[in-house]
Amino acid sequence: MESCSTMLVLLCVSLLLTVCHSQSSRELSAEDFPNKKTPSSAEKDLVETMEELLGKFQSRLPSYEKKGGTIPLCDVGDRCAVKLGPRIGKLCNCARGSSCNSFLLKCI
């Protein structure tokens, strides 16, 4: 009974592989879609207007950059933080593969 179920599974898998292998994947190009329309002048005007509006409102969006600029990188063993009462302030970012130890305040 077990051999019949195993054979059935193998048959289904081989059938699936045959069907998948027979379908070739090819890159789509503009030639595959001859009826596709080119953008009209109204669409181009709409895009230009939206870009203009985005440019106007870009200055109003909040900036995610720190006010002091970018934080420099620390080497392993360098001091990366300072304890200010109950808070810890960053002096620099540790290099890749290391992290800032909050007890020692050094990159390890």
| Residue 58 resides in a domain | no
pLDDT tens profile 12-23: 677 666 666 555
Instruction: List the domain range (segments joined by +) for residue 87.
Output: 69-108
- pLDDT band of 42, cuts 50, 70, 90: confident
pLDDT tens profile 83-108: 888 888 888 889 888 999 988 999 99
CA distances to 26, 46, 60 from 54, in Å? 37, 12, 10
Q: Considering the chain, what percentage of its residues have pLDDT values greater than 70?
A: 61
| Residue 63 resides in a domain | no
Which residues, other chains included, contact 72 with Cβ-Cβ below 8 Å and sequence gap of 6+? 92, 93
Q: Is the dihedral of CA 73, 77, 82, 86 positive or negative?
A: positive
Range 65-73 contact pairs with CB under 8 angstroms and sequence separation of 24 or more: none
* Helical residues (DSSP H) of the chain, grouped into ranges: 2-22, 41-57
Amino acid, single-letter form, for residue 96: R
* Number of domains into which the chain is organized: 1
| Residue 89 resides in a domain | yes
Question: Domain containing 98 — which CATH number?
Answer: 4.10.40.30
pLDDT tens profile 77-87: 999 998 888 88
Lowest model confidence (mean pLDDT) among 5-9, 23-27, 50-54, 67-71: 23-27
| Residue 26 resides in a domain | no
